[in-house]
Each structure stands twice: as structure tokens, then as C-alpha cells.
């Protein structure tokens, strides 16, 4: 399959050290902008209960799930301890012309 880059949003649509939700087809993703102005993408739903991570809080490199405080490193998808023990998938991101693109895996 050829590379599938999809446009997410303008680079400025995400604040620094924050996250937004991005739905594409029947899939949902969380798109992050770090305090260092880097962009990342993970699965949109927490692996503990199906809750949108974009409603959670980004602090440093951690996204904390809105409901049960499950924590993941959003750069790697790693679960940082109970109640979450299953990692998130991560997805490549690129910036072109001040737009954010996500590569579907």
C-alpha cells in the first residue's frame, strides 16, 4: 500500500503542550504538540477503558487519561503503570506548509 498521509489540522490549531482529537473514517487519534514544539500522534482511546485521550491533560511528555489517570508517554506510546498496562500505538507525523499530516498505519 502506498503511503497514506492525511491532513489533520493547521499547526497552530494545537497549543503547545496540548492535545486534540482527530477522527478519520471510523478511527480516532490523539495528536500532540509538545512544549518543544514537536508533534506526535497516538491511538485516540485509552487502552484501559475506551475514553478519548484528547480530553486528558498533557504535562511534559505524558498524557494522562481523563477518567482513571492512566498515563502514557505520548512520544513512544508506553503505558506508565496501572491502571494502564497496554501501550498505545504511535503514528508518524509530518509538518508541511504549517499543516500537520498523520501517516496511517
Partner 1 sequence: MSGQITGPVAIVGAGHSGGRTALALREQGYRGPLVLIGEESYVPYERPPLSKQLLLGAAEAPDCYLDKRADYTGLDIDLHLECSAVRLDRDKRTLKLSDGSIVDYQALILATGGQVRQLTIPGNDLEGVHYLRTLKDATALRASLLDARHCVVIGGGFIGLEVASSARQMGCEVSVLEATDRLAARVLPTPISHYLHDLHRHNGVDIRLECRIQRLEGTDKVEAVVLESGEILSCDRVVVGIGIIPNTALAETSGLDTGNGIRVNAHLQTNDPAIYAIGDVCEHRSPMTASWCRQETWRNAEDQARHVAHHLLGDPTPFQSLPAFWSDQYDASLQLIGNPSAAAHTIVRPHDDDHILLFHLDASARLVGVSGFGPGNRISKDIKISAQLINNGGPLDPAGLADPTVKLKPMLKA
- Binding residues (CB under 8 A) for partner 1: these are 17, 49, 51-52, 55-57, 64, 66-68, 81-83
DSSP state of 12: G
CB of 72 to partner 1, least distance (A): 14
Peptide bond into 14 cis (omega under 30): no
Taking the CB of residue 26, how many other CB atoms lie within 10 A of it?
5
Cβ closest to partner 1, residue 30 vs residue 101: 30
Task: Considering only the C-alpha atoms of the chain, give the largest distance between any 2 of them, rounded to a whole number of Å.
Answer: 40
CB of 65 to partner 1, least distance (A): 9
Nearer to partner 1, 47 or 101 (CB): 47
Amino acid at each position: 500500500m502506498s503511503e497514506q498521509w492525511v491532513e489533520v489540522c493547521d499547526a497552530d490549531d494545537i497549543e503547545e503542550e496540548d492535545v486534540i482529537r482527530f477522527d478519520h473514517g471510523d478511527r480516532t487519534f490523539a495528536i500532540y504538540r509538545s512544549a518543544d514544539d514537536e508533534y506526535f500522534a497516538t491511538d485516540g482511546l485509552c487502552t484501559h477503558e475506551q475514553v478519548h485521550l484528547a480530553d486528558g491533560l498533557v504535562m511534559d511528555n505524558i498524557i494522562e487519561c481523563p477518567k482513571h489517570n492512566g498515563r502514557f508517554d505520548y512520544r513512544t506510546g508506553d503505558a506508565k503503570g496501572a491502571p494502564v498496562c497496554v501501550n498505545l500505538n504511535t503514528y508518524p507525523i509530518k509538518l508541511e506548509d504549517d499543516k500537520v499530516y498523520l501517516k496511517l498505519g
